[in-house]
Amino acid sequence: EKGGYEHFMLKEIFEQPTAVFDCLRGRLDAKAGTIRMGGIDKHLELLKEAKRIILVGCGTSWHAGLLAEYVFEELCRVPVEVEYASEFRYRNPVINPGDVIIAISQSGETADTLVALENAKNQGAFIFGVVNVVGSSIARLSQAGAYTHAGPEIGVASTKAFTAQITVLYLIAIKLGYAKGSLSRDRYLNLIGELALIPDKISEVLKSAPEVAALAEKYKDARDFLFLGRGYNFPIALEGALKLKEISYIHAEGYPAAEMKHGPIALVEESLPVVFVATKDAYHDKLISNAQEIKARKGKVLAIISENDTVFQDIADETIAVPVADEILAPLLSVVPLQLLAYYTGLAKGLDVDKPRNLAKSVTVE
């Protein structure tokens, strides 16, 4: 059942080219330049007119929501909020007609997410589900939706469900942005073409698994890890830290890279690995200065970079290169080495990577 892999987590990490491909299949037609999604097509006017989009989820699904905030604001020019379901459900949020809630959940059974949605629905919000498990409670409560089609995820840590979630969210944002006219036809076609290339690029990234395993062996005894990123890669820094915590029990924190100066920099010393999610984008020069600041304080810089980024290679102690991609879509590549880092670190420490202590696959109690 593990298809020749030692663990479900590794199998599911390696299934990502297929998971993303399956998620695009039947929806994205790069040649025709079209995106077809039943749940969106049917409610296109309502979505175009949304006054606000509120993304709701927990854990890794919340990270997918955070990335979607950047993407929807850029491509659709609509105000977006991202909410932890557990906070949203209790704090008497202001919800108005015209608000669209996008619920993100792998299992479709997370108690906090479910109740948050029930409350919002009662207040008149429209609920759109991005869910993996067909027929689950959240799928049933949603008034429209798009399944992620990642297939069953058995490992407790979410991997392929995350990349499928963000793929669906990209599709929605690209489609909606074009329909609203906030995305030009050229940019729309360009993003569609780039998205179609992603499954093969993820396969390329997976070839770095032995390199990541060697890094894991080298840094497995670190007490803490810091993960830094900016822009589209900031949510990926959070996700990298969460994965490492869950699977290796090493304390890890994710931060927007520039926030480092406002506190976390006090932690930097020789024994602290700092992982930069540093694929080339509009913020690249700033990230380079942040990495230099870590080096100046003798921290270890580990970086996920775009291939042929010689500048970062010179600064960093260790680099893992991923293929060049559009900056908006790069998180689909940059997250993969971080999933592998968590997996191989847990493995090197002799831990149960598929069933980390204290965690359940689906959190049906609050």
Angle between helices 185-206 and 16-24 (to 10 degrees): 160
Distance CA 289, CA 284 (A): 9
The answer to whether 163 contacts ligand F6R (rule: CB under 6 A) is no
142 touching ligand F6R, by CB under 6 A: no
Report the candidate in 125, 111, 159, 160 with the shortest Cα–Cα distance to residue 55.
125
Tokens in use for 300? 């270890």
Alpha-helical segments (H) within the chain: 8-14, 16-24, 38-41, 44-48, 59-76, 85-88, 111-122, 137-141, 160-180, 185-206, 209-219, 234-248, 284-296, 310-315, 331-348
Nearer Cβ to ligand F6R, position 83 or 309?
83
2 annotated active-site: no
Residues 55-84, mask of contacts with ligand F6R (x by CB under 6 A): ---xxxx-----------------------
| Of residues 260 and 353, the one with the C-beta less far from ligand F6R | 353
Instruction: Name which position in 110, 233, 279, 339 contacts ligand F6R (CB under 6 A).
Output: 110
- Kindly tell me which of 59 and 235 has the beta carbon lying closer to ligand F6R: 59
Binding of ligand F6R by 247 (CB under 6 A):
no
Pick the closer one to ligand F6R by CB: 254 or 299: 254
CB of 112 vs ligand F6R, minimal distance in Å: 8
Q: Does residue 167 belong to the site contacting ligand F6R (CB under 6 A)?
A: no
Shortest distance, position 176 Cβ to ligand F6R, whole Å:
22
The values of phi and psi at residue 269, to 5°, are -155, 180
Query: What residue type is 55 in one-letter code?
Result: L
State residue 353 phi and psi, 5-degree precision.
-70, -25
| Helix (H) or strand (E) run with residue 153 in it | none
State the Cα torsion 341-356-201-105 to the nearest 10°. Answer: -140
Which residue of this chain has its Cβ atom nearest to ligand F6R in the complex? 59
What is the chain's alpha carbon radius of gyration, rounded to the nearest angstrom?
Answer: 20
Q: Whole-number minimum distance, CB 275 to ligand F6R, in Å?
A: 17
Please give the span between the terminal C-alpha atoms of the chain, in angstroms, as a whole number: 31
CB of 6 to ligand F6R, least distance (A): 19
Q: Pick the catalytic residue: 218, 295, 349, 361?
A: 361
CB of 347 to ligand F6R, least distance (A): 16
Q: How many CB atoms lie within 10 A of CB 139?
A: 19
Give the number of other CB atoms < 10 A from CB of residue 186.
Answer: 8
- With contacts defined by CB under 6 A, name the span among 104-112, 179-187, 204-212, 340-348 that binds ligand F6R: 104-112
Q: How far is the CB of 180 from ligand F6R (least distance, A)?
A: 28
Determine, following the binding rule CB under 6 A, whether residue 113 of this chain makes contact with ligand F6R: yes
Site string for ligand F6R, 341-360 (x = CB under 6 A): --------------------
Interface residues with ligand F6R (CB under 6 A) are 58-61, 105-107, 110, 113, 157-158, 242, 246, 362-363
Residues known to be catalytic: 361
